[in-house]
Amino acid sequence: MELSGAEIISTFLADEGVEYIFGYPGGSVLHIYDALFKQDKVKHVLVRHEQAAAHAADGYARSTGKVGVVLVTSGPGMTNAVTGIATAYMDSIPMVVISGQVPTAMIGSDAFQEVDSVGISRPCVKHNFLVKKLEDLAPTLRKAFYVASTGRPGPVLIDIPKDMTDPNVKMDYVYPSNVSMRSYNPNIKGNHKQVKKAVKLILSAKKPVMYTGGGVVLSNASNELRKIVDRLNLPITQTLMGLGAYPGTAKRSLGMLGMHGTYEANMAMHETDVLIAVGARFDDRVTGNLEKFCPDAKIIHIDIDPSSISKNVKVDVPIVGDVEEVLTDLITVLDELGVNEDETRFTNWWKEIEDWRKKKCLSYKKKKDVIQPQSVVEKLYKVTKGKAFVTSDVGQHQMFAAQYYLFDEPRQWINSGGLGTMGFGLPAAMGVQLAHPEATVACITGEGSIQMNIQELATCLQYGLPIKIINLNNKYLGMVRQWQEFFYEGRYAMSYMDTIPDFVKLAESYGHVGMQITNPADTEDALKEAFAMKDKLVFLDFLTDREANVYPMISAGKGHHEMQLAPESELI
Amino acid sequence: MRHIISILMENESGALSRVAGLFSARGYNIESLTVAPTEDGSLSRMTLVTHGSDEIIEQITKQLNKLIDVVKLNDLNMNQGNVNHIEREMMLIKVKHGSLRDEVSRLVDIFRGRIIDVDEHSYTVELTGTSDKLDAFIRALETDTILETVRSGVMGICRGEGALKL
Ligand SMILES: Cc1cc2nc3c(=O)[nH]c(=O)nc-3n(C[C@H](O)[C@H](O)[C@H](O)COP(=O)(O)OP(=O)(O)OC[C@H]3O[C@@H](n4cnc5c(N)ncnc54)[C@H](O)[C@@H]3O)c2cc1C
Ligand SMILES: Cc1ncc(C[n+]2csc(CCOP(=O)(O)OP(=O)(O)O)c2C)c(N)n1
Ligand SMILES: [Mg+2]
């Protein structure tokens, strides 16, 4: 088949099974847009800002496990996408970004809308390519998808100069189904000896803890994880990125750990003698002060990326491999040893944990006159029966969402953990809703974050995306305010905005439904009403307790056992 | 500790900046770095000298291995100590000889260097050896006689049969 570069791109994307691409046109990608226009296999979603294109592709990827695809023009198109690319990079999300570039002959001449896209993106992509020859185009596209989706996933950028897509220059195209790269061979199978060693260590433990993260979700290893945890009667705590891989409502789940984790999870971390870390990267939000981290524990770490192992915390039994492969192997070893499910295993340890649970660290005072943000999340859980896809932005509302919506399935909870990107929630929800047209999708956000990509309300109308936006409006950059309350003697420097739009009118002006809720008693009904509008986007503006804080909290320099709990006065 | 890391990487335009970018982004230090294509034109070989604790060196090699353009690498100091590798650096140094022509040329002999260019005021000397040896030569000269120095950075190779090859 003789095709132009632009046609190679559109044909390749269809051959690769790409359903949606998220993008925004401009000079250097016009040939590509023209080729896309002439076909109907790959659907293009026109966002209103390139950052949102990347977040939408990201939401699509997180909720499906497939590669999210982005198309942007050179210069400002690409730079606008950078925040979205970096967000995907920090959370290891598979993504391919195609950016237009000025024609090859003009590269380096400060041409109109020229930026060094390969240079700018280099620190926040898994890999990137500049296509210099038409015959490289198809193989490079294939490599990009391969690299993005294998090993530790991540975004890959392909910069394509305009002359590479010239409609008048054609060459033969066949889908390059084989891809081989001598310098890229991710290690999938874990070392069996190490796995046996790990099992031995776990069986010898008195106070084991399973600490799992985003890697379990990325590896689709939820079933294996559940089998092991249940068979061994292990207490399990999950990172912000791992929530849902093991059901949040199950009795062995201690909830999230770390800075805003539960009392029982963090205390268990402090007391554990064998820590089993699975697809988690010992992030500073999780570990707290490294010197006080798991003082008595031998540590097993399963991760596909050797550089994640012993990066922040030295581990005793490293296992490099894909979580699903390694856990499957681990189950085989348990079978061989005849280790069966036993509810009485670790009984004394569970007694200690039950005592910590009695603190009920997530309780909060329910007031009559003002809506508590936590209660909105609890009611949302109730109204959606715990089955919604929930995306979020960044701030207190994100932590409340993580703490009070108990996720039972992987890929159900979608948020920016590593980069903590405000503005992520709404565009990510668009990607989720497109991938799952029948599903209920809620975006829990704050009045600060939602304004960082509010323009996407127009995209939602264009594509008929009935997202429910739950705006926990405290009229503060709440997370910043909380830190200022705790650590800056209440000097609220720039954490307050006094010109907040009327979100109801704003939603309406974009063609959606807006609701404002001020009375706690109305919370549940409002949610029911909104979710009953199956094909409408509804913006629910909840005016919440302005000074609510996120508890528990581990402050800088503190260990897991030094959590700050909600003061008595703020409890029931 | 000081480590010499040899890297085989794809001979592609962006490869060097990926390595340099990695070091600056992660705050690792580079003492020297040399790179040139190998007998296989699709591969470049880089020698990188860095120092850091064992943990940092471990992270450096892991991070380098993670770069897609890095095909293979070898930490020459790993598990074999200094005796099991050979390292060399080359220096070109221009020295004012003034009235001390003989003295400078004797010094060059002692260090087994070669005078490769001469004019009425200066010698240009070529000297190869370990970095310490080059440093020692510089120290042996009067500072104000040195007009210019160029050093290649360290190259290293392991002794015996071990080879960094595909
Ligand atoms: C305001 C705010 C507060 C936060 N507070 C908390 C908090 O209290 N608690 C908390 O936990 N987080 C918190 N975070 C998130 C935190 O910043 C990190 O993003 C998060 O802890 C990292 O999660 P993770 O360790 O699961 O790693 P991820 O970033 O999900 O990394 C996944 C790991 O798994 C590995 N991996 C990937 N694929 C595979 C595979 N197939 N097989 C094996 N391994 C694989 C990767 O190499 C990597 O090491 C907060 C973020 C924000 C913005
Ligand atoms: C793009 C970006 N800029 C700044 C920050 C720093 N930041 C973290 S949370 C936060 C406040 C968020 O406010 P809001 O969305 O209203 O959420 P709340 O904390 O009030 O629930 C800020 C400014 C960030 N995470 N992302
Ligand atoms: Mg707010």
Between CA A292 and CA A269 the distance in angstroms is 10
Q: Which atom of ligand 1 is nearest to the CA of A213?
A: 26
The pLDDT assigned to A156 comes to: 98
Q: Which residue in A112, A181, A206, A497 is the catalytic one? A: A112
Pick from A146, A109, A124: nearest CA to A78: A124
Between CA A91 and CA A110 the distance in angstroms is 33
Pairing of strands B85-96, B155-158: antiparallel
Between CA A390 and CA A187 the distance in angstroms is 32
Which 3 state secondary structure label does DSSP give A353?
helix
| pLDDT, averaged across chain B | 93
> DSSP string of A258-295?
STT--HHHHHHHHH-SEEEEES----HHHH-SGGGSST
Nearest CA in chain A to B24: A123
The pLDDT assigned to B80 comes to: 55
Six-digit token string for A441: 């999708």
pLDDT-flagged residues of chain A (< 70): 570-572
- Residue B81 confidence (pLDDT) above 60: no
Report pLDDT digits (tens) over A489-547.
999 999 998 899 999 999 999 999 999 999 999 999 999 999 999 999 999 999 999 99
Who contacts A176 (Cβ-Cβ below 8 Å, separation ≥6)?
A: A138, A139, A142
Which 3 state secondary structure label does DSSP give B62?
helix
Between CA A490 and CA A471 the distance in angstroms is 24
Residue A307 near chain B (CB below 8 Å):
yes
The ipTM (two decimal places) reads 0.93
Contact A422, A447 (CB under 8 A): no
Between CA A12 and CA A144 the distance in angstroms is 12
Q: Which residue in A16, A113, A360, A409 is the catalytic one? A: A113
- A222-232 and A323-337 helices cross at what angle (nearest 10)? 30
Between CA A406 and CA A395 the distance in angstroms is 18
The answer to whether the peptide bond before residue A552 is cis (omega within 30 degrees of 0) is yes
A478 C-beta closer than 6 A to ligand 2: yes
> Are A307 and B70 a contacting pair at CB < 8 A?
no
Neighbours of B126 (CB within 10 A): 14
Mean pLDDT computed over B57-64: 97
Residue B65 near chain A (CB below 8 Å):
yes
Report pLDDT digits (tens) over B30-45.
999 999 999 999 999 9
Between CA A349 and CA A235 the distance in angstroms is 9
Give Cα separations from B65 to A92, A150, A459, B61 (angstroms).
17, 16, 41, 6
For A532, the enclosing helix (H) or strand (E) is helix A523-532
Six-digit token string for A158: 């392909």
| A112 flagged as catalytic | yes
Q: Please tell me the number of Cα atoms within 13 Å of A116 on its side-chain side.
A: 8
The pLDDT assigned to A1 comes to: 86
Between CA A446 and CA A191 the distance in angstroms is 45
A51 C-beta closer than 6 A to ligand 2: no
The pLDDT assigned to A118 comes to: 98
Mean pLDDT computed over B13-18: 92
- pTM exceeding the 0.95 threshold for the entire prediction: yes
Nearest ligand, CA of residue A126? 1
Q: Which residues surround ligand 3, an ion (CB under 5 A)?
A: A 446-448, 474, 476, 478
**Burial track A213-233 (b if 16+ CB lie within 10 A, e otherwise):** bbbbbbbebbebbbbbbbbbb
The pLDDT assigned to B161 comes to: 84
Which of A149, A183, A185 to probe the B interface (max B CBs under 10 A)? A183
The pLDDT assigned to B82 comes to: 55
Based on C-alpha coordinates, what's the Rg of chain B?
18
**Which residues are bridge partners to A301 per DSSP?**
A277, A318
Q: Which residue in A7, A12, A50, A256 is the catalytic one? A: A50
